[in-house]
Amino acid sequence: MCFISITNPLDDRMKYQKSWKGEMQVSQWAEFEAFVEDIMKAEHIPGVAVAVSENGKTIYQKGFGTRDLETNEPVTPDTIFGVASVTKSFTALAIMKLVEEGKLQIADPVTKYLPQFQLIGYDDIDDITIHHLLSHTTGIATMKRVEQLDGFDEHLRYINKVERTVLGRPGEFICYNNDLFLLLGAIIEQVTGESYQDYIKKLLLKPLGMNRTTYSLDELQSFDNVTTPYVLEDGKPKPCEWPTLGNYAVGGGIRSTVKDLLKYGNVFVAQQEIIGHESIARMAEPVHYTSGNSFYGYALQITPNYSGVTIVEHGGGQPGVSSNFGFIPERGIVAAVLTNLSDVSASAIWLAAVNTALGLSIDQKRSTEPHFDMKPEQLQRMVGTYRSGEGLEVNITLEDQKMMATVSDKTYELRASDESTLVVMMPIEKPIRFFFDEDNDAWAIFLGLRMLMKQVS
């Protein structure tokens, strides 16, 4: 008996398209890997981990370099790094869950749950709401960090008496304020009757199977494949201690892996049912403009209309940590990048990974700042030293008709993009927005989500 096989030409075409798509993706990821290696070399990064998923399926994961320069052990997708301020979205998600359960409201004043929250000399304390804590729009500038404080009650006493700068009314300005953000942890404890960390574990870490994720430095010692954190000194990575953080763990205390962060990210792209879609969407709604085409929401930064999709992300930085995490809701894409060196381009690596997953040019930017010719007298009014409460200092100088910025002992050339903005020219351009008073003198700059105040000589 003879069997005749009839082949459908459409099947052949689909097989060819799948094969071609696979080859194209392999080629694109090879370009991405070369991009990562170039950044690692240029910025002296010991180790990087990257993972990307689409609709709950991992489409790329890889470790680059070493987690420890002394032992030369390789980074893998299971290597534990610090995630720093990526932690903030965990806290915000917990708050949104309590809103969903009717246990609090976003518009509630902070004093409803923390009546001991006071700011000496600030008369309208009840105007500061949970919404303002989540979006860093309290109108209170960054404060000096005191990581040795023990418990939220002690931190509330510190906030009350510490010297602070009032930028304006709540909602008027955006300025990162870790000391006020961490009050969300105190609110969670007040509402649930549980410790903040226990509540996050119960709500997210355990149900999602994030078994290599922890807040605890003691628990961290029990894991294998943990990175050594590094800071750059004299052009070379030098090991540093993990920061203890104290109450600041609410906004930066998680240590995790890129694989675990994909599990977490799937909550945001409807692959895990921890919280309702409306609550997730609320977190990713723009609250305040930041720069370029981007806005800040609730512990997430949003760039709408990025080649037809929305980029939602958050970065983080600590001694020994540079991180970036986020998702593309329309495509179900989640991406995470973790590194073990401070102040490096995790954000650039993350965007390159997202571009690769979207099939875009690897060097496409969130936005491109225009070029603007500024008169010398306009440039001169921007010159000065600017400082945040946390101690970040930026020195703006005019040298041979060129604007320069010195940040953390690194000096960068600047260019103007409009009458109130200078741009740091880096792998990803960073705009510095200037604020002027009635006399047209600069009184602050906005950089890295922080307002830095001009220092009076």
Q: Burial-class residue 331 by CB neighbours within 10 Å (0-12, 13-18, 19+).
A: middle
Residue 432 has pLDDT above 60, yes or no: yes
Reported confidence tier of residue 428, pLDDT bands at 50, 70, 90: low
Q: What interhelical angle do 9-43 and 346-358 show, nearest 10?
A: 170
Give the whole-angstrom CA distance, residue 457 versus residue 455.
6
Confidence (pLDDT) at 456: 87
More confident of the two residues 26 and 430: 430
Phi-psi region at 99: left, alpha or beta (left = phi > 0; alpha = psi -120 to 50): alpha
* Res 401: pLDDT: 85
Checking if the pLDDT of 406 tops 70, the result is yes
Supply the pLDDT for residue 423.
Answer: 95
Counted residue by residue, the chain has a size of 457
User: Residue 159's CB: how many other CB atoms inside 10 A?
Assistant: 23
- Average pLDDT, whole number, for the chain? 92
Kindly tell me if the per-residue pLDDT of 240 is higher than 90.
yes
Mean pLDDT of 236-245: 96
Q: Round to whole Å and give the CA distance between 187 and 404.
A: 43
The region of weakest confidence among 87-96, 215-224, 417-426 is 417-426
Q: In degrees rounded to 5, what are phi and psi of residue 337?
A: -130, 125
Taking only the tens place, the pLDDT of each residue in 21-75 is 444 456 779 999 999 999 999 999 999 999 999 999 999 999 999 999 999 999 9
> Residue 97's pLDDT is what?
97
* 362 pLDDT above the threshold of 60: yes
Confidence of residue 156 (pLDDT cuts 50, 70, 90): very high
Sign of CA dihedral 34, 39, 45, 47: negative
Predicted pLDDT of residue 7: 35
Tokens of 240: 């540093």
Q: Which pLDDT score, from 0 to 100, does residue 437 have?
A: 94
pLDDT, position 450: 96
Closest CA to 29 of 258, 357, 307: 357
Per-residue pLDDT band at 377 (split at 50, 70, 90):
confident
pLDDT of residue 11 exceeding 60:
no
| pLDDT score of 9 more than 70 | no
Burial of 130: CB neighbours in 10 Å, binned 0-12, 13-18, 19+: buried
Three-state SS across 103-148? CCCCCCEHHHCCCCCCCCCCCCHHHCEHHHHHHCCCCECCCCCCCC
Mean pLDDT over 200-227 rounds to: 97
pLDDT > 90: percent of the chain: 85
Phi, psi of 401, deg, nearest 5: 65, 15
pLDDT of residue 338: 98
pLDDT for position 56: 95
Beta carbons of 257 and 77 less than 8 angstroms apart: yes
Residue 10 has pLDDT above 90, yes or no: no
Is residue 427 over pLDDT 70?
no
Pairing of strands 384-387, 309-318: unpaired
**pLDDT at 409 exceeding the cut of 90:** no
Q: Which two tokens stand for residue 35?
A: 């991009």
Q: Count H helices and E strands in the chain, helices first.
A: 13, 21
pLDDT above 70 covers a percentage of the chain that reads: 93
Which residues have C-beta within 8 Å of that of residue 89, sequence separation ≥ 6? 283, 299, 300, 314, 325
Tens digit of each residue's pLDDT (9 = 90 or more) over 277-316: 999 999 999 999 999 999 999 999 999 999 999 999 999 9
**pLDDT for position 17:** 39
The torsion defined by the Cα of 368, 369, 371 and 372, in degrees rounded to 10, comes to 160
pLDDT of residue 273: 84
The more confident residue out of 360 and 426 is 360
DSSP state of 80: B
**Which is nearest to 248 in space by CA: 346, 177, 347?**
177
Q: Dihedral sign, CA of 327, 253, 229, 58? A: negative
Which whole number is the average pLDDT over 416-424? 95
